[in-house]
Amino acid sequence: MDEVRIVLVDDHALFRNGLNGLLSMRGGYRVVGEAADGAEFLKMLPVTAVDVVFMDIAMPVMGGADATREALALRPDLKVICLSMFGEESYYSRMVEAGARGFLLKDSSIDEVFAAIDAVMAGGSYFSERLLASISSRMHDAEGRASEELSSREIEILFGICRGLSNQEIADKLFISKRTVDAHRANILEKTGCKNTASLVVYAIRNHLVDL
């Protein structure tokens, strides 16, 4: 693919225009459409070749979660990156359940925007570095209130995942092998019913293992 085709869905025209301008400054990325709400985006989707959608959460007519769910029903290969602000954490689980693969704060740097695009295009997930830092800095001792499904070691590994650490980095921090971390991570996914890193972070938030 020569370039990543992007659609911006946000009810603030000034924000869309600004992000459009920043994205156009780097080769290999092109904004192919804009929409002011989820319903407008769904109308343009059948006739628009798009790879990545930046989706606002709260919009008039149709919000981000409903629009994401309906869009992915039509285009399962679509990569949706949620645009959020601090204080909107209660929406994250709905966006993950709808199929969003990335989460960016609206005041993220343009370098982080490109990093998020590259991550989801590679088949991964992406959480804003500042959001992960916020999660990490507000973590409490969760031993007494952790989900009974997870062992204390699995909770430690889940904390590392929430901090954005790779399996190797978690292994180094806990003085265990990467293979052991791989096994624990697989067990965590199976026990929690999560499918990816984004849903694991939301699981941790929802179960009060971390506190935003």
Q: Quote the DSSP letter at residue 28.
A: T
Between residues 6 and 128, the one the model is more confident about: 6
Structure tokens at 12: 């603030």
Q: Where are the beta strands (DSSP E) in the chain?
A: 4-9, 29-35, 52-56, 79-84, 102-105, 126-127
Question: pLDDT tens across 162-171, in order?
Answer: 777 888 999 9
Most confidently modeled range among 57-71, 78-92, 147-161:
57-71
| Least confident range of 1-10, 70-79, 86-95, 165-174 | 86-95
**For position 164, what pLDDT does the model report?**
72
Distance separating alpha carbons of residues 192 and 187, to the nearest angstrom? 8
Band of the pLDDT at 131, cuts 50, 70, 90?
low
Q: Closest Cα partner for 114 from 10, 22, 195, 207?
A: 22
| Least confident range of 153-157, 168-172, 208-212 | 208-212
**For position 55, what pLDDT does the model report?**
95
Question: pLDDT tens across 80-107, in order?
Answer: 999 887 655 566 777 877 888 888 888 8
pLDDT beyond 50 at 145: no
Residues 6+ apart with CB under 8 A from 155: 142, 143, 146, 209
Residues constituting the chain? 212
| Least confident range of 10-24, 39-53, 67-81, 162-176 | 162-176
**For position 49, what pLDDT does the model report?**
94
Q: Closest Cα partner for 103 from 139, 67, 64?
A: 64
User: Which domains, from first to last, does the chain contain?
Assistant: 4-127 (3.40.50.2300), 134-206 (1.10.10.10)
